[in-house]
Structure 1
């Protein structure tokens, strides 16, 4: 009698498992919980909607040892002076992986035209959207979302003199295109 009571729950689980397997063998892919039509475990797509609209104040420090800044005339350049008010940037997430970068002090948005020239724009427009990517070395790269001549991304970059490099002359691997977002203190 004790033996029969102990085997009862195991038998029940075994019967349940076999009935589920039999259901899937008869063409009912929904019979197995957590499986899709191919028999693999289904995963729900991740939702990153909470990241949209995220606003960060940072200084973008290039691997060429310059801070990116946008001056009051809209000129984009690098400066070695960490405390420059023009180097404080508002990085706003407009879509997952896409940001708009704006100088807090001057109000200019960072923009890139179709020839790869970076400039400051008073108005937010499609030229102001950049794909932000964290690279394997921990630095971030920023590529124009709108312009891709020859299906090749154009990156924001500062050369060894702190001047912006033309986007059509940049690659993801170039150190001049790598930036560290530093907290504003």
Structure 2
């Protein structure tokens, strides 16, 4: 990677040592770096402060445009609106389901209709979970109770995170308890636990999003 941090290095291409011509290989390398810098600036949309895409102008100003590449590699907006049909299978071997009354529960029945969920990305790292058969959204109350909501609202937003063991956790985006996150959780009997009683490392909070069969 080639960098020029000051105008002094730029002038070495031309007039700094008029009596000492550059070697052909050195001149070629510098011109190649200038060309690559120009292509990078063009592909990434340019640099701030109206500097444009002229690599000679950028070098003369000693400008470092690495921020542009970093900005683009951290942009995940294309994930918003992504929709997946999955069954959330807990580490306790239950499928999360929402019945027509809004009751959240766990079932061991693999193809139970109420367990098929539509998981939609509503923002980066945040999802809404909806039962396909009942049309109800998974929601969490201020007290950490899980229920099915007929309307999508801020209580239906969950932060989705892939844990080190490959399972996903789902924490309420809206509510916390004593500054701690509250998680979607099914206990060893398949019953929902209050969000404030669950912790990220508890198996009861770990779910595998499984493709429907």
Q: TM-score band, normalised by the shorter chain? A: 0.7 to 0.9
Q: Describe the superposition over 1:18-47 as per-residue Cα deviations: whole angstroms up to 9, x where unpaired.
A: xx9xx98x9x440x5x456xxxx9623422
Q: How does 1:1-185 map to 2 (within 5 A)?
A: 8-12=23-27, 28-30=61-63, 34-35=65-66, 43-45=70-72, 46-185=74-213
Shift in Å at residue 86 of structure 1? 0.3
Q: Distance in 2 between matches of 1:51 and 1:14?
A: 39
User: Normalising by the residue count of structure 1, what TM-score does the alignment of the two structures yield?
Assistant: 0.82
Q: Which runs of 5+ in 1 are unaligned?
A: 1-6
User: Normalising by the residue count of structure 2, what TM-score does the alignment of the two structures yield?
Assistant: 0.72
Shift in Å at residue 149 of structure 1? 2.2
Structure number with greater CO (CA < 8 Å, separation at least 6) is 1
Q: Which runs of 5+ in 2 are unaligned?
A: 1-21, 34-54
For 1:145, what is the secondary structure of its paired residue? Answer: strand
Q: Distance in 2 between matches of 1:155 and 1:92?
A: 18
Shift in Å at residue 15 of structure 1? 7.3
After TM superposition, the runs of 4+ consecutive aligned structure 1 residues lying more than 3 A away are 13-17
Alpha carbons of 1:88 and 1:11: their partners in 2 closer, same or farther (altered >3 Å)?
A: closer
- Give RMSD over aligned pairs: 2.3
